[in-house]
Amino acid sequence: MLTQAIELFEGVALRTNPERAIRLLGSLPASMIDAMRRARFRRTMLRAANHSSFYRDQFRKRGIDPRRIDHPSELGDFYTTGDDLRAFGAEQFLTGHADTAFETTGTTSPLPKTIFFSREELATMGRITAIWLYLLGLRRDDRILSAFDCSFWVSPAVLRAGLEYLKCFHVEAGKIDPQLFYERARTYRPTVIFGEPSWMIRLSEIAERYGVWPVKFLWAGGENLSESGRISVEQVWSAPLYLNYGQTESFGALGAECKLKKGYHRNDLYFFFELDNVDAEGYGEVIYTTLARDVMPLIRYRSNDVARLIEEPCECGVFAGRMGKVRARCDEMVVCGMGNVGPWVFDEVLRDISGISSEWQVFIKHESYCDAVELHVETLNGSALPQFRDAVLLNLRNRFPDFWKNHEMRLYELRVIPCTHGTLRNGRKLQRVIDQRDMSR
């Protein structure tokens, strides 16, 4: 009964203007928010057990009685993984009627993961996004230009839903070449620009050369960004660059920065966050449980991202807890200027090239605000480098149009470095992709 009253209050708060919504939600005592989240979790558990064949089977197999579980931490070693989504298929997770779907591109596998949603969920996430953008200073008279990639990606859809609520002028460029974006943006003189971090850096380099116009802030999401990269963008535009963290599985932002930029404020209303395999510094794999998803809830979903959770209140006064920047991926998957790359990408790029061994290793480096992807490959009989490099580029172009597009946009530099046969592997297992970037600087 109390929970229903709080949810009603929350629903009303979210439908008022953003300023009042933040004030109203912030006025709720922490104990009430916690009670509401637990009630939502219990509802999610029952819904999953009753309607999703994956969860029903898993719970039965493990002897989990969903009626007795009050918090995800009571589920022992049960988790949902990206491999589960691929292996069982998204349909097995469905608990309601889907209106739309988005996809997350391959991480450890070339197979995309499909995630289903309803329009109502899209509208709710849009409202949350709108409230957050308002907090950062976005107002109705702002002009927005977005370069988010519209192909199967959830972020532009969530942004569009949020802007319908804020009713700002909005033009969707899609992820086009930053030079072209820059030229066409001059017509609109956007006060707020949305894009992926490595794309934003290229745009800012162009703007530094050809001139800027007044911008209120820039907003980037979809991959990590070093602090030096952020500063370079902010200096060009004399405006802050805010980051957000999310996954397609979470339906957009799990957290976003406030004006203080000291970690992502988590969306604690709609997710339970946990950490697994926590190290001495408090970093572990981020695990989240969706609390307000009716179509495809995810229970204890392994994000594969390593970060820490921050519970101390932020000086900005917003009630939600925070999450630090993502330090690494749990596997060898790396999100960089090239895109979401993992060992399978380079296996495929090197496939059919003669004169090389099966041993290769990739180092992702960060140099002068741009990612460098160094592909070290063992060659046989001293293969000629120029031919070898051309073959790699040809395969990249033919087999990975998205990564090739980012290469054409100079979002990263690809280096091909031949090595003597037998020099790469010094242990039983060769770590294929090594991220050497330090995102704390």
Q: In whole angstroms, what is the distance from residue 273 CA to residue 310 CA?
A: 11
Report the nearest approach of Zn ion to the CB of residue 227 (Å).
17
Report the nearest approach of Zn ion to the CB of residue 258 (Å).
3
- Which of 64, 131 has the CB closer to Zn ion? 131
Based on the shown chain and the rule CB under 5 A, indicate whether residue 323 belongs to the binding site for Zn ion: no
- Which of 131, 161 has the CB closer to Zn ion? 131
Which stretch in 32-40, 97-105, 308-316, 418-426 sits in contact with Zn ion by CB under 5 A? 308-316
Which stretch in 126-134, 156-164, 311-319, 431-439 sits in contact with Zn ion by CB under 5 A? 311-319
Which stretch in 56-64, 88-96, 314-322, 407-415 sits in contact with Zn ion by CB under 5 A? 314-322
**Residue 260 three-state SS:** coil
Residue that the structure tokens 């691929």 belong to: 86
- Which of 76, 313 has the CB closer to Zn ion? 313
Based on the shown chain and the rule CB under 5 A, indicate whether residue 316 belongs to the binding site for Zn ion: yes
- Annotate 152-217 with DSSP letters as a single string: S-HHHHHHHHHHHHHT-EEEE--S--HHHHHHHHHHH--SEEEE-HHHHHHHHHHHHHH-----SE
- Which of 129, 198 has the CB closer to Zn ion? 129
Report the nearest approach of Zn ion to the CB of residue 373 (Å).
34
Q: Residues 6 or more apart from 38 whose CB is under 8 A from it?
A: 70, 71
* Total of chain residues touching Zn ion, rule CB under 5 A: 4
Report the nearest approach of Zn ion to the CB of residue 253 (Å).
14
Among 39, 123, 176, 314, binds Zn ion (CB under 5 A): 314
- Which of 143, 262 has the CB closer to Zn ion? 262
Nearest-CA neighbor of 136 among 96, 193, 70?
193
Map residues 8-47 to x or -, x wherever contact with Zn ion holds by CB under 5 A: ----------------------------------------
Report the nearest approach of Zn ion to the CB of residue 133 (Å).
15
Q: In whole angstroms, what is the distance from residue 124 CA to residue 86 CA?
A: 27
Which stretch in 150-158, 163-171, 233-241, 313-321 sits in contact with Zn ion by CB under 5 A? 313-321
Q: Residues 6 or more apart from 149 whose CB is under 8 A from it?
A: 155, 156, 174, 175, 196, 222
Q: In whole angstroms, what is the distance from residue 185 CA to residue 422 CA?
A: 51
- Which of 138, 416 has the CB closer to Zn ion? 138
The number of beta carbons lying within 10 Å of the beta carbon of residue 14 is: 18
How far, rounded to the nearest angstrom, does the alpha carbon of residue 111 sit from its chain's CA centroid?
Answer: 18
Q: In whole angstroms, what is the distance from residue 424 CA to residue 378 CA?
A: 7
Nearest-CA neighbor of 176 among 202, 155, 158, 154?
202
**For the chain, first and last CA: distance in Å?**
49
Angstrom distances, CA of residue 83 to CA of 89, 93, 107, 248: 9, 13, 10, 15
Report the nearest approach of Zn ion to the CB of residue 26 (Å).
12
- Which of 171, 260 has the CB closer to Zn ion? 260
Report the nearest approach of Zn ion to the CB of residue 368 (Å).
31
Q: How many residues does the chain have?
A: 441
- Which of 101, 314 has the CB closer to Zn ion? 314
Report the nearest approach of Zn ion to the CB of residue 441 (Å).
22
- Which of 253, 375 has the CB closer to Zn ion? 253
Residues 248-307 that bind Zn ion (CB under 5 A): 258, 260
Report the nearest approach of Zn ion to the CB of residue 260 (Å).
5
Report the nearest approach of Zn ion to the CB of residue 278 (Å).
23
Report the nearest approach of Zn ion to the CB of residue 266 (Å).
11
Residue type, 235: Q
Nearest-CA neighbor of 40 among 7, 5, 81, 74?
7
Map residues 214-243 to x or -, x wherever contact with Zn ion holds by CB under 5 A: ------------------------------
- Which of 310, 314 has the CB closer to Zn ion? 314
Q: Strand 217-221 vs strand 192-195: parallel, antiparallel, or unpaired? A: parallel
Q: In whole angstroms, what is the distance from residue 425 CA to residue 427 CA?
A: 6
- Which of 316, 385 has the CB closer to Zn ion? 316
**Which residues lie near Zn ion (CB under 5 A)?**
258, 260, 314, 316
